[in-house]
Amino acid sequence: MSTKSTLARGDLGNCHFHFYSEAGCDGEVYLDLNFRNGKNYHGELITIPIEVWEVIREKTVWQNGLVGLTDGDLRMKAHEYVDKRDNDVREIVAARMKKGDSRKAAKKAAAFFGMMGCLNYGLHSDPFPVQYRKGIASLKKWRDYQEEGQKKIDALKKANEDCPGVFVIDLKKRKGKKR
């Protein structure tokens, strides 16, 4: 007889997971991961103290701010970013010049700041249309990635609607418990 109480489970193609609590182990939850690489399997069982789980479950690294945005929305975002970066660089040059820096030193600082966003938009020194086109292409790529990821998350949530997802732990009872 199993004493596992499933909190969530799913299959992502190359990884199957089972997240559960165990009757009688009221201070821990378990994450069972099974990875597939071709015909090879590799499994890991991770025991997570409930106090740790309570902290990490509130955190997220998933960003989905581009999900559902139209191409027009992305064009507007790209235009706003390139304009803002251009204005910020001009302000840096002006502030450095006002502070007494040489024009060369001010431009050096601006060039450094202008590197921000270069992976997605190109260099600040690139013409506006080049930065804009690169920005739109990058935003579309990220939107597609986020939408695909969100679909997987939504499918896993739907598949786990029948899992209880609730377990009661008496943390007072755990005080002083040795590991």
Confidence of residue 93 (pLDDT cuts 50, 70, 90): confident
For residue 162, tell me if it sits in a domain. no
Burial class of residue 53 in the structure, from the number of CB atoms within 10 Å of its CB (0-12 exposed, 13-18 middle, 19+ buried): middle
pLDDT of residue 175: 47
Closest by CA to 117, choosing from 147, 95, 84, 143, is 84
Instruction: Give yes or no: residues 28 and 79 share one domain.
Output: no
Instruction: Give yes or no: residues 11 and 44 share one domain.
Output: yes
Integer angstrom CA distances of residue 131 from 2, 140, 149: 58, 14, 27
- Across the beta sheet with 28-37, the strand order is 4-11, 15-22, 28-37, 40-49
Number of neighbouring beta carbons within 10 Å of residue 89: 20
Tokens of 61: 């690294």
The continuous run of DSSP H or E covering 95 comes out as helix 71-99
Q: Which of 76-80, 110-114, 134-138 has the lowest mean pLDDT?
A: 110-114
Instruction: Give yes or no: residues 93 and 149 share one domain.
Output: yes
Instruction: Give yes or no: residues 85 and 140 share one domain.
Output: yes
For residue 158, tell me if it sits in a domain. no
In this structure, are residues 8 and 165 in contact, taking their beta carbons and an 8 Å threshold?
yes
Domain count, the chain: 2
33 vs 41: CA distance, rounded Å: 10
Instruction: Give yes or no: residues 53 and 17 share one domain.
Output: yes
- The whole domain housing 54 covers 4-59
pLDDT of residue 103: 78
- Which range has highest mean pLDDT (31-40, 109-118, 126-135)? 126-135
pLDDT of residue 165: 60
For residue 176, tell me if it sits in a domain. no
Instruction: Give yes or no: residues 78 and 54 share one domain.
Output: no
Confidence of residue 75 (pLDDT cuts 50, 70, 90): very high
pLDDT of residue 67: 95
Q: Which amino acid is at 152?
A: K
Confidence of residue 88 (pLDDT cuts 50, 70, 90): confident
Taking the model in full, what pTM does it have? 0.69
